[in-house]
Amino acid sequence: MPMKLYQIFALLALLLLFAGCAQSGAAPKPGKRYFGLASHYGPEWDGRRTSTGETFHNNELTAAHKSLPFGTKVRVTLLSTQKSVVVRINDRGPFVKGRIIDLSDEAARRIGLDRYGVAEVLVEVLEMGHDRYISPAKRRAIKKKK
């Protein structure tokens, strides 16, 4: 009899473990919100390649996030000013503990983050991306067709 009780507890523990794993891998959906610290790229990054392979331009409204699919559009709100900007995820990062997003200089300027360097923000997922690279030339061709 004690052996059956042990087996039941073992089975229950396994079920709980698998249930926890299944939920942790769920993809974010539009409406998902993140609170944390944001920073912005410096001028030395202008012209370099991003993780998508495209060239980074500090004057565009783009950002780096550790896990959101490439092409995802998010609204970033600087909590101290309540100003927000919509950016497209085209790079990976930031790789500094506690930071959740890295903004282009133009995006940072529009919400006032450029004055702080690092500040608390709200990131809201607006539209999920595709997580694959599309060249700038192909992106322009797609826009012309619309």
Give tens-digit pLDDT for 56-96.
999 999 999 999 999 999 999 999 999 999 999 999 999 99
pLDDT at 143: 64
> Would you place residue 136 in the very low, low, confident or very high pLDDT band (cuts 50, 70, 90)?
low
- Quick: pLDDT tens for 3-52: 565 555 555 454 444 444 443 445 678 889 999 999 999 888 888 899 88
pLDDT at 28: 73
> Would you place residue 124 in the very low, low, confident or very high pLDDT band (cuts 50, 70, 90)?
very high
Residue 116: alpha-carbon gap to chain centroid: 21
pTM of the entire structure?
Answer: 0.71
pLDDT at 52: 85
Q: Are 59 and 104 in contact (CB under 8 A)?
A: yes
The tokens of 116 are what? 């702080």
pLDDT at 8: 54
pLDDT at 27: 63
pLDDT at 53: 86
101 contacts: CB under 8 Å, gap ≥ 6: 34, 36, 38, 39, 63, 64, 65, 74, 76, 94, 121, 123
pLDDT at 76: 98
108 contacts: CB under 8 Å, gap ≥ 6: 38, 40, 114
For the chain, domains (ranges, CATH) are: 33-132 (2.40.40.10)
Among 120, 102, 84, 99, smallest CA distance to 42 is for 102
